[in-house]
Structure 1
Amino acid sequence: MIFANRDEAGQALAGQVAQEVPAASQERPLVLALPRGGVPVAVPVADRIGGELDVVIARKIGAPGRPEFGVGAIAEGGPPIFDETALRLLGVTETDLAETVTAERAELSRRRHRYRGDRSAPPVTDRTVVLIDDGLATGVTAHAALRWLRTQRPRRLILAVPVCSRQARDALAADADTVVCLHAPEQFAAVGQWYTDFGQLTDADVDQILSRAR
């Protein structure tokens, strides 16, 4: 299953999410995208189920010298969460990552102000919340986001992605009430391999997509 782009992936994902959250339900569900890649995927989902669209900011904490390799993550106002197994394998401690955590927290704050401005975060308590990303490799950022959202006491917490590794899907089942993943291939190297167009998005792209959707 190869998606042409994030919009097509979102259209496909919307149908599956709609089976979990019918548009005719009495409450208005909250659809939260993980920027940047999750935003264009979330738009068709929010449209299909009549959801309120917004973002939840999470940042990966990369290993020393290997920033692309996530050993933890931080989301909104929550504490950093680490992959203890990865830390042991690399011989790295949480203290070794203190500067990285500080830098990622600063970037998280910048993005939160950029995408949300002076608006307050939408209420989560006692609502059905759908968290969306364009795909999961390790799932570390989604893990941090789900953990933080759970502290806000949603009625139901759903994680929905077009494609994910089986390891990430199984690991995150404990954090979400429901995990919707359209494609969980046995061989998984990176999210981008399942998209024909997986171009990187900018802050301006996110601003434009959110503005148009609202």
Structure 2
Amino acid sequence: MAFAVFTDRREAGRRLAARLHHLRDQDVVVLGLPRGGVPVAAEVAAELDAPLDVVVVRKLGVPEQPELGMGAIGEGGVRVLNAEVIRLAGASEEALARVEREERTELERRVRRYRGDRPPVAVTGRTALVVDDGIATGSTARAACRIVRAQGAARVVLAVPVAPRGIASAFTGLVDELVVADQPAWFAAIGQFYEDFTQTSDAEVLACLDRAVPH
């Protein structure tokens, strides 16, 4: 039986930031994955005195089991599929296309909602620090890392409060560094490691971005 490790996402962000002090002297942009990764990323950005932005991706959930990711899509047309999950779930090309259409619509809505008139923080030639509230299958985080690499980041660092042991192999060749605050022996879902894992709202995401240190 696993017990909660973090009080909430903000406390998780502060504890994660303590493992990222070596990045303080680098030209870092902190990129949170909406929605849940943004409160975590906000604490990291504040500690590192770095700019905060979002990297918008959407998980492609199996139709009958939406929490199980068969892939993810992101800004710039990035698309990552998990062939093994698709095969095991028996998802047809038609079902995959339908889920992708729905998630693309939501992705575009979120980009408009979170960015508004504010241009994205440039990552070209910089260290892109991608932050989420945890990793389960890793499909969403992989999509995010591909996005920032395609945008010209010199280095890609992925940092999360919690992830399964052995997850590093899923990011070989995608990231230059992976930082995980806690890797429990038994892992079922990210939420089990938080006392408060309430869904993050759009309003909270916008508040985090508005409070961020201007750069």
TM-score range, shorter chain: over 0.9
Size of the aligned set, in residue pairs, is 210
Does the Cα contact within 8 Å between 1:32 and 1:129 map onto a contact in 2?
Answer: yes
TM-score in terms of structure 2 length: 0.92
Q: 1:68 to 1:43 in 2, by over 3 A?
A: same
Q: How far, CA to CA, are the matches of 2:166 and 2:36 in structure 1?
A: 20
- Secondary structure of 2:128's counterpart equals strand
* Unmatched tracts of structure 2, length 5 or more: none
Q: Percent identity?
A: 47
**1:89: Cα distance to partner?**
1.3
Taking the TM superposition and a 5 Å limit, the aligned residue runs for 1:11-160 are 11-19=14-22, 21=23, 23-25=24-26, 27=27, 29-160=28-159
Q: Which moved more, 1:138-147 or 1:74-83?
A: 74-83
**Structure 1-normalised TM-score?**
0.93
Q: Deviations over 1:103-133 (max 9, x none)?
A: 1011001001111102222211110110000
What one-letter code is carried by the residue in structure 2 that aligns with 1:180? Answer: V
Contact 1:162–1:183, Cα closer than 8 Å, also in 2:
yes
Q: Is the 8 A contact 1:173 1:179 kept in 2?
A: no
CA contact (8 A) 2:51 2:212 kept: no
8 Å CA contact 1:80, 1:101 repeated in 2: no
Select which of 4, 7, 10 maps to 2:7: 4
Q: Deviations over 1:155-189 (max 9, x none)?
A: 11000001011243331233110000011112100
- 1:192 matched to which residue of 2? 191
- Aligned equivalents of 1:192, 1:173: Cα separation in 2: 25
Quote how far apart the aligned CAs of 1:86 are: 1.0
Over the residues paired in the alignment, what is the CA RMSD in angstroms?
A: 1.5
d(CA) in 2 for partners of 1:33 and 1:10?
Answer: 11
Q: Structure 2: which amino acid aligns with 1:121?
A: P
Q: What one-letter code is carried by the residue in structure 1 that aligns with 2:18?
A: G
SS across alignment from 1:125 = coil
Question: Any stretches of 5+ residues in structure 1 without a counterpart?
Answer: none
Give the Cα–Cα distance (whole angstroms) in 2 for the partners of residues 50 and 39 of structure 1: 16
